[in-house]
Chains A and B, each alone.
Chain A
Amino acid sequence: MTLLRKLSLLLTFYRNFWLANTLITLMCCFLLWEYGQSIYKVLFCLKAFTLFIIYQYIRSYKKNEFYYYQNLGLSKTILWTYTFGFDILAWYFLLSQTNKLR
Chain B
Amino acid sequence: MTHLLELDSIRLSFGSRVILSDVFMKCNTGKITGLLGRNGQGKSCLLNIIYGELKCKDKSIRFDHTPIANAYQRPDLLRSLPQFNFFPTFLTLQKVFDDFRLDFSTFEKRFPEFALKQDSRLSTLSGGQLRFVQTYLIVRAESQFALLDEPFTHLMPLQIEKMIELIREEKVNKGFLITDHLYQHIVGLSDDLYLLADGRTHLLKDPARIKELGYARF
A interface with B by C-beta (< 8 Å): 5, 8-9, 12, 15-16, 62, 64-68, 70-73, 75
Interchain CB contact under 8 A, B90 and A71: no
Interchain CB contact under 8 A, B91 and A12: yes
A68 to B82, CA, bound (A): 10
A62 to B95, CA, bound (A): 19
Main secondary structure of the interface of B (DSSP, over half): loop
Q: How many A-B residue pairs have CB under 8 A?
A: 49
Interchain CB contact under 8 A, B84 and A73: no
Contacts of B141 in A (CB 8 A): 71
List which B164-188 residues lie within 8 A (CB) of chain A: none
Known: A9-B99, A71-B79. A64 touches B86 (CB 8 A): yes
Contacts of B80 in A (CB 8 A): 67, 70-71
The distance from the CB of B36 to the nearest CB of chain A, in whole angstroms, is: 23
Interchain CB contact under 8 A, A72 and B75: yes
- Digit string of B72-111 for contact with A (CB within 8 Å is 1, else 0)? 1111000110101111101100010001100000000000
Nearest first, the 3 A-B pairs at minimum CB distance are A67-B86, A70-B72, A64-B86
Interchain CB contact under 8 A, B85 and A64: yes
Contacts of B191 in A (CB 8 A): none
Pick from A8, A16, A68: contact of B86, CB below 8 A.
A68
Interchain CB contact under 8 A, B99 and A64: no
Contacts of A73 in B (CB 8 A): 73-75
Main secondary structure of the interface of A (DSSP, over half): helix
The distance from the CB of A58 to the nearest CB of chain B, in whole angstroms, is: 11
Contacts of A72 in B (CB 8 A): 75, 99-100
Please, could you name 27 A-B residue pairs with CB atoms under 8 Å apart, sorted by A?
A: A12-B88, A12-B91, A12-B95, A15-B90, A16-B88, A62-B88, A64-B84, A65-B88, A66-B86, A67-B53, A68-B87, A68-B88, A70-B51, A70-B53, A70-B72, A70-B80, A71-B72, A71-B79, A71-B100, A71-B138, A72-B75, A72-B99, A73-B73, A73-B74, A73-B75, A75-B70, A75-B72
Which residue on A lies nearest to B100, using beta carbons?
Answer: A72
The distance from the CB of A6 to the nearest CB of chain B, in whole angstroms, is: 11
Contacts of A8 in B (CB 8 A): 99
The distance from the CB of A70 to the nearest CB of chain B, in whole angstroms, is: 4
